[in-house]
Amino acid sequence: MSAASPLSADALIEALLFVAPQPLTPESLAGVAGLSLEETEAALGVLETRLAASGLRLQRHKNRLQIVSAPEAAPWVEKLLGLEVNLRLSQAALETLAIVAYAQPITRPQIEAIRGVGSDSVLRTLLAAGLIEEVGRAETVGRPILYGTTLEFLQQFGLQKPEDLPPLEQPQNASPASS
């Protein structure tokens, strides 16, 4: 970091993330701040810990970072901004979204094998809502599209990173679904 900066590394990273128009990578933060990648990651750790006790959070998705409001503040943030949550997902969409969230990256045929029904329409709905995105192609016959969750998904569900999803619980009396 340049000697002219009176800010600590974590304060500088916080300022950069605050003004950034889109999520940033640790590498881009390091370059702008004049820090090594190791120094940047250390500063991000300090920032994440400090923000955990505030109304803000450091959100990580893939290799991108941004500062967001704490999920607990959502009702008041929505009221201030005049936002209404109009996103209503069908049971099929929620089921498919859960499969993508827990199994990502995943292909449509894999989703359909889990659900037992076609998923084209539901995937289009989730793509249009910005909750999932194409993240690549599988290295199998036909090279099917791989799907994963988005930053919008994390924001809608109050998560800082995909790893914050609650663990899957196995049903105690696991039996084949009868629907």
Residue scoring higher pLDDT (28 or 140): 28
Question: Mind listing the domains of the chain with CATH numbers?
Answer: 9-73 (1.10.10.10), 91-164 (1.10.10.10)
122: helix, coil or strand? Answer: helix
Select the more confidently predicted residue: 173 or 129: 129
Q: Two tokens at 74?
A: 């959502």
- Please, are residues 58 and 41 in contact by the beta-carbon 8 Å criterion? no
What's the rounded Cα separation, in Å, for the pair 106 and 134? 10
Count Cβ atoms within 10 A of the Cβ of residue 48 and give its class: 0-12 exposed, 13-18 middle, 19 or more buried. middle
| pLDDT computed for residue 17 by the predictor | 95
The rounded distance, in Å, linking the Cα atoms of 114 and 117 is: 8
Q: Which one is predicted more confidently, 116 or 174? A: 116
Q: Note the pLDDT tens digit of each residue in 44-95.
A: 999 999 999 999 999 988 889 999 888 888 788 877 776 655 567 888 999 9
> How large is the greatest C-alpha to C-alpha distance in the chain, in angstroms?
67
Lowest mean pLDDT of 85-89, 126-130, 171-175, name the range: 171-175
**What pLDDT does residue 5 have?**
64
Is the distance from CB of 75 to CB of 27 less than 8 angstroms? no
pLDDT at 6: 83
Q: Going by DSSP bridges, is the β-strand pair 145-149/106-107 parallel, antiparallel, or unpaired? A: antiparallel
Mean pLDDT of the chain, nearest integer: 86
Long-range contacts: 112-116, Cβ < 8 Å, 24+? Answer: 116/177
Mean pLDDT, rounded, for 145-169: 86
List Cβ neighbours of 19 (8 Å cut-off, separation of 6 or more).
Answer: none
Q: Is the pLDDT of residue 179 over 60?
A: no
- pLDDT above 90 covers a percentage of the chain that reads 55
